[in-house]
């Protein structure tokens, strides 16, 4: 069975498998899955085939057994005995077809996921010698089948890539692609856009339907919220400085500085004064010492940082 001959229920089953493996899948999505599963006997059979193939690849946790049992129940209820007798053959056919060339959705779903909490960082060494440093409150997936592909889902990461012309290294953010040409670069997702800063070497940025953009050391660009490529400009002074526990700002709006600080600490900033929202900030801030950062803001901007109920911090003008 080739990818082109996958049935529509099997394609839908792949989609559900991807969505249910996401830790953000909530009760509403679980309910939608149950409705889809019970809508047609073919849905249950297709989901059972995809799950069993997945388990052969070692890509599913034990939690998947609940959905598999549910699917089997629907198969029994609809008397799909013939389908079940041929299930092993179908699974083998799926394995042959999908293992050779599988869609990105399947590739991403079975990829190894890494995630950091607020204030946490993680370093990941890849088999090819490349290294990824995942910043606070970030998540990514790394291909497990040999393709040098990483999906950055949220937050920020630093990439130190071992160049291999025959096996390009690619970072994917939504529809955007960042292809390594032997380099060190930083990728950050925030405020609806993605920023790519190259420190060494070169990367190529691309989105569907647009000409590829070459980005060399000392420059940064990215993807706008509408998926378009942003023009290159000089790197910000603090590109990748978070790896040393430092945030560097140069004429950054105060709301953006507060947003960045909140990525490293379990706090919520309140900035109700419209005049204060227009202030800009320049300086170096610690990613680990919140009190030091608040003192820097208070001394430099003439504001007060007042800790209120829970984890909220009110920023207001000094009396």
Report the CATH number of the 112-234 domain: 2.60.120.1440
- State in Å, rounded, how far the first CA of the chain is from the last one: 73
- Write out the H or E segment, with its range, that includes residue 301: helix 290-301
| Beta pairing class for 112-115 and 149-154 | unpaired
Residue 161's alpha-carbon distances to 65, 117, 244, in angstroms, are 37, 24, 19
Q: What digits encode the pLDDT tens for the residues 73-126?
A: 555 555 444 554 455 445 545 554 554 445 666 677 778 899 999 999 999 999
pLDDT in tens, 243-252: 999 999 999 9
Residue range(s) in the chain whose domain bears CATH number 2.60.120.1440: 112-234
- Looking at residue 192, its pLDDT comes to 83
Residues of the chain with CATH 3.55.50.30: 245-317
Look-up: residue for tokens 């997702």?
A: 189
The torsion angle over the Cα atoms of residues 140, 145, 147 and 152, rounded to 10 degrees, is: -10
3-class DSSP assignment, residue 85:
helix
Q: What does the alpha-carbon distance between residue 258 and residue 269 come to, in Å, rounded to a whole number?
A: 7
Domain 245-317, second-level architecture? 3-Layer(bab) Sandwich (3.55)
How many angstroms separate the Cα of 295 from the Cα of each of 34, 83, 180, 289, 304? Answer: 52, 68, 40, 10, 9
Dump pLDDT digits (tens) for 282-299. Answer: 999 999 999 999 999 999
Reduce the DSSP state of residue 258 to 3 states and report it. helix
Examine the pLDDT at 179 and tell me if it is beyond 60.
yes
For the chain, give the mean pLDDT. 83
Kind plus residue range of the DSSP H or E element containing 233: strand 229-234
**pLDDT tens sequence across 208-261:** 888 899 999 999 999 998 888 999 999 987 889 999 999 999 999 999 999 999
- Cβ atoms within 10 Å of 60's Cβ, excluding its own: 22
């Amino acid at each position: 069975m080739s990818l082109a001959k996958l049935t529509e229920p099997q394609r839908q089953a792949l989609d559900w498998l991807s969505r249910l493996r996401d830790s953000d899948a909530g009760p509403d999505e679980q309910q939608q899955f149950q409705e889809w599963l019970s809508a047609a006997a073919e849905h249950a059979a297709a989901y059972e085939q995809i799950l069993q193939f997945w388990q052969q690849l070692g890509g599913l946790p034990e939690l998947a057994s609940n959905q598999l049992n549910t699917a089997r129940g629907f198969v029994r209820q609809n008397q799909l005995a013939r389908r079940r007798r041929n299930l092993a053959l179908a699974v083998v056919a799926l394995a042959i077809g999908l293992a050779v060339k599988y869609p990105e959705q399947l590739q991403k779903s079975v990829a190894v996921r890494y995630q950091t909490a607020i204030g946490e960082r993680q370093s990941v060494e890849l088999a090819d010698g490349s290294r990824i440093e995942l910043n606070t409150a970030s998540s990514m997936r790394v291909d497990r089948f040999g393709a040098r592909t990483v999906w950055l889902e949220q937050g920020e990461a630093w990439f130190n890539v071992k160049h291999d012309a025959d096996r390009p290294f690619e970072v994917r953010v939504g529809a955007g692609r960042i292809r390594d040409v032997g380099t060190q670069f930083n990728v950050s997702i925030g405020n609806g856009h993605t920023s790519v800063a190259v420190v060494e070497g070169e990367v190529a940025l691309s989105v569907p339907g647009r000409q590829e953009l070459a980005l060399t050391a000392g420059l940064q660009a990215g993807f706008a919220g509408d998926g378009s490529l942003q023009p290159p400009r000089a790197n910000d002074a603090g590109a990748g400085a978070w790896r040393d526990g430092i945030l560097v700002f140069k004429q950054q709006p105060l709301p953006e500085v507060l947003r960045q600080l909140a990525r490293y600490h379990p706090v919520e900033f309140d900035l109700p004064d419209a005049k204060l929202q227009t202030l800009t900030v320049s300086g170096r801030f610690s990613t680990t010492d919140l009190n030091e950062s608040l003192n820097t803001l208070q001394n430099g901007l003439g504001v007060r940082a007042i800790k209120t109920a829970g984890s909220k911090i009110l920023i207001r003008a000094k009396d």
